[in-house]
């Protein structure tokens, strides 16, 4: 038992030191990024002011995939090396990733209506992103469906690993098939096809989203460790 909690205890100590710093970094980055994106960057030559949706949409979509990949790595480590902290990290990431995915879909829809002329189409990019949202929701439902947390963790970790196949499909959907969604503007082989005046606010926002994720992750992992401790104490009381 001691060995099982050795690492989480050390984690809790480091987390409580790191948390305020990360919180401040998030506030600063998001503040600067939003100011630059919304007030101090040019309108697009074709999209006009609607381009500003991108400063939320693109980082949210990146984070949706980043969170899923992190969750899969954590779930894999939990499954193979039985590391309790990894399982907790995977569980703590899921709702955050689901929110990012929803945000990407929602803002994309808001942008799609004035630009494309439709809220939604079933093209490869949009559909695979919707599948990602369902994978997150499925994971959350599955891990909470078991009375025995250990069994729930195992089944849901397998689900996450199977769903990992969707991440490269999302990323390359716009290259493999023709889609209504445009191809990548930033992460592409021949360099970004986005003007520098728009790239900087976008990268700041992307960084802000990332630190926000770390911040929320630390809070959620702490809460999860503490609630596990409470559960164990209660079980001990009951079983005397």
Partner 1 sequence: MKRKHKRLTFVGLALLLLATAAALTLSAFEESIVFFQSPTDIVTKSVSPNKRYRLGGLVEEGSVRKKDDAVVTFRITDMANTVNVSYRGILPDLFREGQGVVTEGFFVSDVFTADEVLAKHDENYMPPEVADALKKSGKWNEMSSKMKKQGHVLGGGSQ
A 10 A CB-CB count for 139 gives 26
- Is position 49 an interface residue for partner 1 (rule: CB under 8 A)? no
Closest CA to 172 of 193, 158, 154, 188: 188
| Range 219-237 burial, b when 16+ CB lie within 10 A, else e | ebbbebbeebeeeeeeeee
CB of 232 to partner 1, least distance (A): 24
User: CA 171, CA 183: separation in Å to the nearest integer?
Assistant: 9
Binding positions for partner 1, 145-164, rule CB under 8 A: 161-162, 164
Closest CA to 20 of 192, 178, 151, 214: 214
Among 179, 200, 203, 224, binds partner 1 (CB under 8 A): 179
CB of 143 to partner 1, least distance (A): 18
- For residue 124, give every residue at least 6 positions away whose Cβ sits within 8 Å of its Cβ, in sequence order, or none: 169, 173, 174, 176, 177, 179
Q: Which stretch binds partner 1 (CB under 8 A): 19-27, 169-177, 213-221, 224-232?
A: 169-177
> What's the start-to-end Cα distance of the chain, in Å?
17
Q: Which stretch binds partner 1 (CB under 8 A): 10-18, 41-49, 86-94, 137-145?
A: 41-49
Q: Which stretch binds partner 1 (CB under 8 A): 13-21, 28-36, 43-51, 136-144?
A: 43-51
Nearer to partner 1, 21 or 119 (CB): 119
- Per rule CB under 8 A, count of chain residues that contact partner 1: 44
- Is position 115 an interface residue for partner 1 (rule: CB under 8 A)? yes
Nearer to partner 1, 1 or 165 (CB): 165
Q: What are phi and psi of 94, to 5 degrees?
A: -50, -50
Q: Which residues bind to partner 1, rule: CB under 8 A?
A: 42-47, 51, 54, 76, 79-82, 114-118, 121-124, 161-162, 164-165, 169, 174-180, 182-185, 188, 193-195, 197-198
């Amino acid at each position: 038992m001691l060995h099982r909690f050795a690492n989480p205890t050390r984690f809790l100590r480091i987390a409580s030191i790191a948390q305020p710093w990360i919180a401040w970094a998030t506030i600063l980055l998001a503040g600067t990024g939003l100011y630059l994106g919304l007030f101090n960057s040019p309108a697009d030559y074709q999209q006009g002011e609607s381009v500003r949706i991108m400063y939320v949409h693109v980082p949210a979509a990146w984070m949706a995939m980043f969170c899923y990949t992190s969750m899969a790595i954590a779930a894999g480590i939990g499954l193979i090396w039985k590391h309790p902290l990894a399982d907790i990290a995977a569980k703590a990431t899921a709702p955050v990733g689901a929110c990012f995915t929803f945000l990407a879909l929602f803002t994309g829809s808001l942008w799609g209506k004035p630009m494309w002329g439709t809220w939604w189409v079933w093209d490869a990019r949009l559909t695979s992103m919707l599948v990602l949202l369902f994978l997150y929701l499925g994971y959350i439902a599955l891990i909470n469906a078991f009375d025995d947390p250990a069994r729930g963790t195992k089944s849901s970790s397998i689900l996450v690993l199977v769903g990992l196949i969707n991440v490269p499909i999302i990323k390359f959907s716009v290259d493999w098939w023709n889609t209504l969604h445009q191809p990548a503007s930033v992460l592409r082989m021949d360099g970004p096809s986005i003007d520098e005046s728009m790239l900087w606010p976008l990268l700041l926002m992307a960084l802000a989203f990332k630190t926000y994720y770390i911040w929320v992750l630390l809070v959620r992992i702490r809460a999860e460790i503490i609630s596990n401790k409470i559960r164990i104490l209660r079980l001990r009381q009951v079983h005397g």
